Amino acid sequence: MSSKVIQKPEDRDSRPTTHDSQLTQSAGPKSIKLFEKAQRVLVGGVNSPVRAFKAVGGTPLFIQKAKGSQIQDVDRRWYTDLCLSWGPLILGHAHPRVVMAAQKALREGSTFGAPNPREFFLAQMISEALPSMQRMRFTNSGTEAVMSALRLVRACTGRNKVIKFAGCYHGHVDALLIKAGSGATTLGIPDSAGVPLAWTQETLSVPYNCPEAVEEAFARWGKEIGGVIVEPATANMGVVLPKPGFLKFLREITSRYKALLIFDEVVTGFRLEYGGAQTAFGIEPDMTCLGKIIGGGFPMGAYGGRKEIMENVAPLGPVYQAGTLSGNPVAMAAGIETLSLLKNKNPYAHLVRLTTWLANGIRERSLRFGIPVQVNQAASLLTIFFTEHVVTDWESAKTADTQRFGQFFHHMLGQGVYLPPAQFEAAFLSTAHTPKDIEKVLQAVDKAFEKITSVWEKKRPAVPAPSRSKDVSPRRVPTAL
């Protein structure tokens, strides 16, 4: 058996690609030296595989501090950050009020292993924003939230099978680390060493945005399917929006077969708008998984749903789940302050305007330089796919040119713009980003596209006009591409 362990399904972020060594060595000497030392004590020198830069080549930057929209590496170079720790920092790095709230809580005690008032306050805020979460349980990560939610779904329905969508990532849960097969609907095949085949055979993988495949799965295994888990707008194969009616269809078919609909809003929760994707799209799931933003930059997750479902969790019911640091007061304090600022300031329209400006600017430059790209946007998330094909699912996402993205990534890094170091990820904006930041990024895109064009001139394909996403207002996240 291969010893290769993959961070995400279909090996999309950790796969090595061929890169020019001179181009991809963007790291400074201190980062290079630290990475060499880190590999002696940390697996691969990192604590999450995508951070190793294998998808783009070169040595990862070691970051020593950050403020607002900017991060600084150990070589004292500053970068405009469009990764934002993969999404939690919607207020930017080290927001003063979040820092103060966390410091106050820390002075009072970092963890108690007992109930604390902040748990109730944050849970109440979340339930008011997402009414579908009548009851909830805090965890320490989105992965833990998903794992617990799936256990609960199986217990409540008495059915073992779960449908997931190819390209959607729900954490490193054994049953969900599967690759898509050749058919429209396939039984899960492990996509990581160490996952027994039997554990993934209860997971059905179907194409995202394909109601026909979901219908086929329910027609064949309907009495065995306990639930459907979906990113309502994906961020983990890059940003992909649901086609019109797709989420409504999932709501209808799960109700018809008495299965549960789970929205994985670890990324989209409090990101698309204050009430998350379910409010933006007007679809109420049976259960929701959250993470990232609700912790204000600290480790946190949550899962919740209707009262009658959640009361099956211990101590009220037979489904066991626990956590030593779950609900710790420091993370709760940061989460409360973050959600309070989002609710009171309501920055979502502003974030959409900034992101749309950036997305349109990239599209215009791609046309000018003759570089085929698709820019998919959902509120303040976007992905630049280096492909001439409209991206609506994992199969179309895979048409993206990962080598060209790697070149683009390093050209941008060399000009002080830090993107997520993988083609199939989402970039994020925050309330700390300013018009000057957007201008800087677009100037960097100009230079990056110019350099890429000079390298690829001889084999440049004809470029169709890229598709344009509609503008996104707080209560109108686009439901069509």
Report the C-alpha dihedral over residues 69, 73, 78, 82, rounded to 10 degrees: -40
User: Does residue 286 have an active-site annotation?
Assistant: no
Sign of CA dihedral 129, 132, 135, 140: negative
Closest to 372 in 3D by CA, of 449, 289, 308, 273: 449
* Per-position DSSP letters for 11-65, written without gaps between them: GTTT------HHHH--S-HHHHHHHHHHTTTSGGGSSSGGGG-TTT-S-PPPEEE
Asked if 98 and 90 count as a contact pair (C-beta separation under 8 A), the reply is: no
* Rounded Cα–Cα distance for residues 79 and 71 (Å): 5
* Rounded Cα–Cα distance for residues 434 and 429 (Å): 10
The long-range contacts involving 452-458, CB below 8 angstroms and separated by at least 24 positions, are 452/369, 452/371, 452/404, 452/407, 452/408, 452/411, 453/369, 453/370, 453/371, 455/407, 456/371, 456/404
Write down the catalytic residue from 79, 81, 164, 169. Answer: 169
Write down the catalytic residue from 161, 164, 292, 398. Answer: 292
Strands 189-190 and 178-179: antiparallel
**Nearest-5° Cα angle at 349, 359 to 301:** 90
User: Does residue 169 have an active-site annotation?
Assistant: yes
CA 65 to chain CA mean position, Å: 23
* Rounded Cα–Cα distance for residues 114 and 407 (Å): 50
Active site residues: 169, 264, 292
